[in-house]
Amino acid sequence: MTASDKEQPLVQHLLELRTRLLRTFFCLLIIFVCLFPFATQIYAIISAPLQAVLPQGTSMIATDVISPFLTPLKLTFYVALFLSVPYMLYQIWAFIAPGLYIHEKQLAAPLLISSVLLFFTGMAFAYFLVLPMLFNFTMGIELEGVSAMTDITKYLDLVLHMLLAFGFAFEIPVATVLMIHSGIVSADSLASKRRYIVVGCFVVGMLLTPPDIFSQTLLAIPMWMLFEAGLFFGRLVQKRSEERARKET
């Protein structure tokens, strides 16, 4: 076998990787172009939790000349990115699937689907529950001589930060199952460290959310519950792996 024959599979893999990256890019571009005419309406939807609690006679402001154009544009890009995540994960799956064993495929497919559903569930949890509670709390604090008028760019940065924080935090069950399946830790070892993990959840909630007890708690408690769910399914995966190992020996 010549050196060129050995290099051929690597070249084929690189070409396939390039093809899948291009498909992902064009998917993102197509979604963005389709959403661009509705950029203003999308921003109106995102700003609804704050608009609902703004004091009468006040509104959001733009402190930069081009903010009314760039801010909805930035939001539209992120929305397009979020919507293209399922297709991105499909491309990743299609690229790595041929190299997986059957039992690995049986685990990877549910994990990929679960990761997408959990990510969007976390974002929905933040948008429909956490943000309204947060803005109700902050808008209820009145300072004499101070009018509540939020800059649209800073508001978008805060909302995106919150949505991403909750979206990634809801991936805890997937991360827990992967760690147990890969043998990094055992289910019993994680269970024995539960008290430290609970404290860690509240520390992460403090770091990823604004400095108020409501949003911190609303992130920490779901993280703890999701860890318990990941631990439960991780035990099932570990049990199946041990049974398969016994059968193979």
Instruction: Evaluate whether 171 touches 115 at the Cβ level (below 8 Å).
Output: yes
Residues ≥6 apart with Cβ < 8 Å to 107: 181, 237
Amino acid at 54: L
Cβ count within 10 A of residue 208:
19
pLDDT in tens, the chain (249 residues): 444 444 557 788 788 889 999 999 999 999 999 999 999 999 999 999 888 888 777 778 888 888 888 999 999 999 999 999 889 888 888 888 777 777 677 777 888 888 899 999 999 999 998 888 888 877 766 656 666 678 889 999 989 988 988 898 899 998 898 888 878 888 888 888 889 998 998 888 888 777 667 778 888 898 999 999 999 988 888 888 777 777 766
pTM of this prediction? 0.82
Two tokens, residue 17: 């990787």
Closest CA to 234 of 184, 161, 168: 184
Closest CA to 89 of 65, 61, 109: 109
For the chain, the maximum distance between any two Cα atoms, rounded to a whole number of angstroms, is: 82
Name the residue ranges covered by the structural domains of the chain: 3-248
- Half-sphere CA count of 88, side-chain side, radius 13 A: 12
